[in-house]
Structure 1
Amino acid sequence: MQTSEAQPPLVFFDLETTGLGRTCEIVQLAAASGGHSLNLYVVPPCPMQRGASKVTGFRVRRRRLYLHRRLVPTNSLREVLVSFVAFLRMLGRPLVLGHNIRRFDCPLLARALDGLGLRAEFESAVSGCVDTLPLARESLKGRGLRSFGQTHLVRELLGVDYKAHDALEDVRALQALYGVLRPTEESICRQRFTLDTMEGKPAVSRVASKEPPGQRPLWENFRPTVEVTDGKDDRATR
């Protein structure tokens, strides 16, 4: 994605979790910036809530993670977060964007980073965060939209449906949606925040004392999930 010299690179970010509450845990973390993408999974230290499992397709059985009944490779939460920070550093202190991240994803991310002592590393790797939900409300004011949920906006503005509630598909779709929204620099500045300026203070994360069986070395999982394409990949618009 091309950016002006005055604007930092953009990274679109999403989490899938064990539920919807502030105490739920991370199951999947994905990020995308142009043709670069990151997609990692972690076995959570608590059970999946039935509703979340039904929506996302994730199941945990015998400390192994399944997505739609298919075993997926996992890493520890620390490895996932360290990989995310490395991905951000690779892109040169980008802005991190996501839909409804100020109320949900970023508080969970902050709690996980705090629990592992990684918040400073994350903060030094980014220029800030932007929630695209209020950004869309501002950009599309007066359009008469009945919902500003991401799936509805993608359907209304891009004319497509996609595999929602998969973090990688969500960030690809959001990247395409952002290209249609084209918010002004003033709007982006108004919606910009950091983990320290979010409302409320997240609690310290629960971190499992033992790695679940079947964990794979970080390099083995990280390398194939960070993709660099020639810019012709149109999967984000599907």
Structure 2
Amino acid sequence: MEPDMACSMIQRLAEDGYTVGTLHSDNDATTQSRLPRSIIKKDDKTHLKKNLSKRLCGLSKNYKQLKSAKVIPYIVRCFMYAISRHQNCKQSMKAELATIVPHIFGHHEQCSPTWCTYIKDPTKFRFKHLPNGKALSGDKLKEELDKLAQSYIERADRLLNLGSTQSNESFNNSVASFAPKNRFYGGTKSLKARVSSAVMQKNEGYGWLSKVNKKSLLSPGHLTILHGIRKDRRRKQIRKTQSTTNFKRKRLTIKSKKLKDNQRETVKEGDTYGGEIEVQEHIDTETIPSKMKFEGEESVVVFDLETTGLSRKSDITQLAAFDGTTVFNEYVSPREVISPKVSELTGLTFDFSCDQMYHHGKPVESRDIQIVLLKFIDFISKKKKPNLFGHNIAAFDIPILMNKLRQHSLLSEFLLHIYGCIDTIKLARRKFKTKDIGNHKQKTLVTKLLGIEYDAHNACADVTSLFQLLEHFEYSEKDVFPFNAALLTDSYIPLIRASHITKLTARRLAHSGLCLKHLQLAFNRDSENGLKSILLEHGFNAKTVTSFTKYLTCTEE
């Protein structure tokens, strides 16, 4: 359709007495092959830049070095600088285009001191936009980029005196606002009026309608005039702002940030879209966790356990939770004897001869642990993004609950419904000093802050009182950690033993929701750049990136 329209317009111009000598357009259609040989074809600057970026993005699928957010824009800038700088001399343009690939591969013999600072001080020279400040490497990549550069060198005559079709695109957008493409106006009588309206808006501004009304001896309309004045003033202000250096710099910054964000999301999501991707043998679809962010939709669930002893391998005797409205409280039939000390604290005893549990001497109904866990999962699953709160849960309650979930093959199901966990003892230690409050036990905090007494070491009473206590604490995303943080930490044991990272770093990584497998995925998807994008998002420094890069590189070899 595009070539036919171009031919038709040129023919109509010729009939009206106008001769077209040069045509500026993109290379996406066969227009040139259908035009008379007397018409010279010149490339469009905007489409030239866009097509160059597309070709480099195509190469990035096979060459990881091009996947870094700044690499492709840097190469595009090098090409466009050489082309823009020599618009009147074909030979000088060819010569400078031929120096670009050697330059980005670290060969600066032919570089010009006007745009390459290597000549000034070779010892301090670093590439600002290439990974780690170093030149690209690889014979195959260099060969591909040489072919790319050669294709532009061969058609340097078309790159002289480049034009721009931005004004055409702008006008097309104006026409599309009056005659949208998703509706068929081609067969209606209103099409001519709609296109004419776009032409008037382009030439006369937004006050065109008032002028038409006036010429037609109609009332211009006071509100219509004011609306046109406001719109024209706004358009003039936008154009003035867009021409400033600060606006252009801000636009480049936003574009750079968007590229980085897209790169990070690509690393985190793996394979999501591609030609015939569904029929490929190996599809990498595992998602790497993002940084935890509170969006106001999270629900609070306070939970607590009572157990047969103080060991992490103890049996659960009571499991309770509270979300502010509904109380979940279940007694559990233990498989081991409740220690006398714990029984004295909780008031729970269990008679194995008659399978009966007692609370302060009164019989209570108890169930098998598997049934209680399933009921607890059902309770949690009804909440939206539930965060589990508890006092000293990281050291005691979570390890015990996790052991029981793993024993009954319910851990993976449980993790599907949990958004994160927050230990309130850490919140209390951060806000209240020991000298001011005595200690950070829950009973002490409830007495001091709420001024009430309650049945401590009763899971049901513990969760309802702790829920009230949350009003006195401050917490954020930084306080959230995964329920399976201990398992994630264990994945880093090989690195800790090899002294690549410390135990503290391993715990920080685990609390971010990252295990070693996640970092291996990031490295496999985009080598060091992928690893860097994930770790920097979670607040880790370049030293940690280097440590993991060395370890994963050795592992691959």
**1:52 aligned to which of 318, 330, 342:** 342
- Which structure's residues are more often strand, by fraction? 1
1:102 is aligned to 394
1:38 is aligned to 328
Q: Classify 1:64/1:142 alpha carbon distance in 2 versus 1 (closer, same or farther; 3 Å).
A: closer
Deviations 1:143-179 (A, max 9, x none): 7221000000000001111111110000000000111
Q: For structure 1, list consecutive stretches of 5 or more residues without a partner in the other structure.
A: 202-238
Q: Partners of 2:431 and 2:478 in 1: how far apart? A: 12
Q: Partners of 2:435 and 2:428 in 1: how far apart? A: 11
Note if 1:69 corresponds to 2:361: yes
2:483 is aligned to 195
CA drift at 1:101:
0.3
Question: How high is the sequence identity, in percent, across the aligned residues?
Answer: 35
CA drift at 1:141:
4.4
**Counterpart contact for 1:18–1:47, Cα < 8 Å:** yes
Deviations 1:29-76 (A, max 9, x none): 000001111000111000000100011111111221111111111111
**Counterpart contact for 1:93–1:124, Cα < 8 Å:** no
Tell me the amino acid that sits aligned with residue 429 of structure 2. Answer: R
CA drift at 1:93:
2.8
**Counterpart contact for 1:57–1:68, Cα < 8 Å:** yes
1:150 is aligned to 442
Q: Classify 1:149/1:142 alpha carbon distance in 2 versus 1 (closer, same or farther; 3 Å).
A: closer
Note if 1:88 corresponds to 2:376: no
CA drift at 1:142:
7.9
**2:371 aligned to which of 33, 54, 79:** 79
Q: Partners of 2:402 and 2:307 in 1: how far apart? A: 14
- Partner SS, residue 322 of structure 2: strand
- Partner SS, residue 414 of structure 2: helix
- Which structure's residues are more often helix, by fraction? 2
**1:18 aligned to which of 308, 316, 319:** 308
- Partner SS, residue 328 of structure 2: strand
1:138 is aligned to 430
Q: Partners of 2:371 and 2:464 in 1: how far apart? A: 23
Q: Partners of 1:40 and 1:161 in 2: how far apart? A: 23
**Counterpart contact for 2:318–2:329, Cα < 8 Å:** yes
Q: Partners of 1:44 and 1:191 in 2: how far apart? A: 33
1:231 is aligned to none
TM-align CA RMSD: 1.7
**Counterpart contact for 2:332–2:369, Cα < 8 Å:** yes
Tell me the amino acid that sits aligned with residue 176 of structure 1. Answer: Q
2:25 is aligned to none
- Partner SS, residue 14 of structure 1: strand
Tell me the amino acid that sits aligned with residue 88 of structure 1. Answer: I
**Counterpart contact for 2:304–2:462, Cα < 8 Å:** yes
Q: Partners of 1:64 and 1:184 in 2: how far apart? A: 41
**Counterpart contact for 2:434–2:440, Cα < 8 Å:** no
**Counterpart contact for 2:393–2:423, Cα < 8 Å:** yes
Deviation larger for 138-147 or 105-114: 138-147
2:414 is aligned to 122
**Counterpart contact for 1:25–1:46, Cα < 8 Å:** yes
Tell me the amino acid that sits aligned with residue 129 of structure 1. Answer: C
- Partner SS, residue 19 of structure 1: coil
Q: Partners of 1:67 and 1:99 in 2: how far apart? A: 22
CA drift at 1:190:
2.4
TM-score, structure 1 as length reference: 0.77
**Counterpart contact for 1:56–1:166, Cα < 8 Å:** yes
Tell me the amino acid that sits aligned with residue 9 of structure 1. Answer: S
**Counterpart contact for 2:313–2:403, Cα < 8 Å:** no
Q: Classify 1:22/1:142 alpha carbon distance in 2 versus 1 (closer, same or farther; 3 Å).
A: closer
CA drift at 1:139:
2.4
Tell me the amino acid that sits aligned with residue 390 of structure 2. Answer: G
Q: For structure 2, list consecutive stretches of 5 or more residues without a partner in the other structure.
A: 1-293, 491-557
**Counterpart contact for 2:418–2:483, Cα < 8 Å:** no
Tell me the amino acid that sits aligned with residue 111 of structure 1. Answer: N
Q: Partners of 1:109 and 1:194 in 2: how far apart? A: 14
**1:179 aligned to which of 451, 471, 489:** 471
Deviations 1:92-129 (A, max 9, x none): 23000000000000000000000000001111111011
Larger Rg: 2
CA drift at 1:184:
3.6
Q: Partners of 1:97 and 1:32 in 2: how far apart? A: 10
- Partner SS, residue 120 of structure 1: helix
Q: Which aligned segments of 4 or more residues in structure 1 are displaced greater than 4 angstroms?
A: none
TM-score, structure 2 as length reference: 0.34
Higher relative contact order (CA 8 A, sep 6+): 1
**Counterpart contact for 2:298–2:385, Cα < 8 Å:** yes
Q: Classify 1:106/1:142 alpha carbon distance in 2 versus 1 (closer, same or farther; 3 Å).
A: closer
